[in-house]
Chain A
């Protein structure tokens, strides 16, 4: 039987001994069915290396059968009119994130991740910056309240998926750190050096771990 070009959930795609199930499919009664609605794609798998035990009978690998979302193939712009939040955006290691500081402690700063790799999250993820991950130099002399303040917007990179409830974020490079800060009087400040923001009205400086502008 020929494969359909577009599958719907529950639609029979083929037998399990003819195809290998990929993303968007599931096996039921030795048959591969579609799990989501979208176009069907088959890709031939590479031969496994462990077939050297039987060199005579060259077993042909099964092609992989997968169903993708239609929006995944397109360019997912943030301002798209369709539901651009359909793809599941999760922070991964080495993702560049934009986050807002929510809480300060003596050895960490809590934040909520708002943007992951230029994609806006539909719900914020909670993260943590430890004191050792704030700067690349002089890690023992760092005070957290001299680097961040509650409400600052911080650019960082995810270094670990962390524990059950927090991702671990690092700002230990020059281009990571605070990108937007608000002064004590409530005005947005501009960066003047690698460790200071300044209020445009009063001229008073406040210490931050400043991100290098692009």
Chain B
């Protein structure tokens, strides 16, 4: 018998049964690959990401070594598995992947203490195993766990989350923003991805591509920042749980 979802709209529940401010189930592991310097595996709902960190290392022989001003260079590569979406993916790289790579690169250049490793390269390799919305946020959370596992110095955790506005076009509608979208909600609603640094509310990543009314952006941001705080507690628990094995 299929799940009866007819009463969801009466109780203001979403399609998957969550309320407006509930995260999906987040499961994470670190040190999943022995060959990498740092590695992690993250699930946010049905979005599954593998991340491995190499470095700080010498970098390739060709080209300029390291970043400018005697700092380490951050390189990000995102690979999509062919089976990760609903339809099989054929093209390896496109503009959307390059944009996500650049967003991650600039975010982590601000978070990592790169001046400690001049003329070096820190490589992040992310593999998307399954896509179900909030893809950039899942990549950021997985990369944060992998960098902590690798021991790269950083100022704080970088945690990301998505928030959407479910309001209609009428001005009197005061619906709540939604937190941590899945794929169906991302296609229907205007949403933003926000990443904050640790316990503070300093926004390091903000990406908004859809059309939304300006007075609703502040509410979406507030809900997204609250979601990032909760994501940070979950990631903190994963790192502490892993650290308990050593003591």
Contact = CB atoms under 8 A, between A and B. Distances in A.
A70 B148 contact: no
Contacts of A85: 35, 37
Given A8-B240, A83-B31, A83-B37, A36 B151 contact: yes
Nearest to A67: B153
B37 A70 contact: no
Contacts of B240: 6, 8
B176 to A, nearest CB: 30
B34 A8 contact: no
B236 A82 contact: no
A82 B151 contact: no
A123 interface: yes
Given A26-B155, A83-B34, A35 B148 contact: no
A86 B61 contact: no
B38 A86 contact: yes
Size bin of chain B's contact surface = 35 or more
Nearest to A81: B34
A30 B11 CA distance: 49
B58 A123 contact: yes
10 contacts: A9-B153, A9-B155, A10-B156, A10-B198, A26-B113, A35-B154, A36-B152, A38-B151, A83-B36, A122-B57
A63 interface: no
Contacts of A123: 54, 57-58
A103 to B, nearest CB: 12
A88 interface: yes
Interface of B: 31, 33-39, 54, 56-58, 61, 65, 113, 117, 119, 148-157, 197-199, 236, 239-240, 243, 246-247
Contacts of A126: 61
Given A35-B113, A38-B151, A83-B36, A9 B61 contact: no
Which are the 9 A-B pairs with shortest beta-carbon distances?
Answer: A10-B156, A35-B153, A10-B198, A123-B57, A9-B154, A69-B151, A36-B151, A37-B148, A70-B246
B34 A10 contact: no
A87 B61 CA distance: 22
Contacts of B33: 83
A165 B58 CA distance: 10
Interface string A35-52: 111100000000000000
A82 to B, nearest CB: 7
